[in-house]
Structure 1
């Protein structure tokens, strides 16, 4: 087994970085979805949702940077083109969504996809002893589970 400069198995970190690139691509699509619904939301709930969507896309933008920097920390190169993002993303693309319930549903569906990816990465990082990535995934999961709960409550649905 060959260790990299941060003491992790190079083969395992390459695999983790590949999964993080998939997460990065999905976060970029999620981020762009949030921008779109922020810009296009209409209706009586406009003021509340416009602010909430801005809060969410600001957070997503920070997470995109954290993921990319973690990929670099692991010795790999983060994806950085829209073409790469679209090819790798599983998050649904929201286009021309202006209705409040459709916008919130898009967020729930997107976060559900992100959570699946993050849990897969969490399991791999645990096995690899990659505490840095593991901690990041754990923090993301905790935040996103709460956001899903809140969005589902707004939709009058249960988790």
Structure 2
């Protein structure tokens, strides 16, 4: 996730070394994970250049939404791995959002952020429409286009609480 976030924040295609330097990581470690991301289509090689006899490869992050369904797996062991990895990913995302929120409050800002926790009643179609609007809004505002804009962290979670929320009406 961190690697993808750094590639997304880059305003130009970047090399793995450039991203590793920004992250404060060893390039070999980032290279390993970047190759995995490239193999599944989340990073795309967009350009290669010869710089002082070395081939520099420039990548950009996939600019879209990825939906993964565990129902597509037939093997129970694969479903269990998927469940475990999904839980780890969700936990990491929640923890990262919490850390950003807490860091903002510790920085002494007048307004640290907004927290909202609500149960809402939606049809499956309304839930999909809401997510589409939120994702499109975030994508439209993912790059600074004016000097007066400040960076905000947006974390969104929408999950069906009951089986009714999982069925199309």
User: Shorter chain as normaliser: what TM range?
Assistant: 0.3 to 0.5
Mark the structure with the bigger radius of gyration.
Answer: 2
Higher relative contact order (CA 8 A, sep 6+): 1
Structure with the higher strand share, 1 or 2: 2
- Please, what TM-score do these two structures have when normalized by structure 1? 0.33
Structure with the higher helix share, 1 or 2: 1
- Please, what TM-score do these two structures have when normalized by structure 2? 0.32
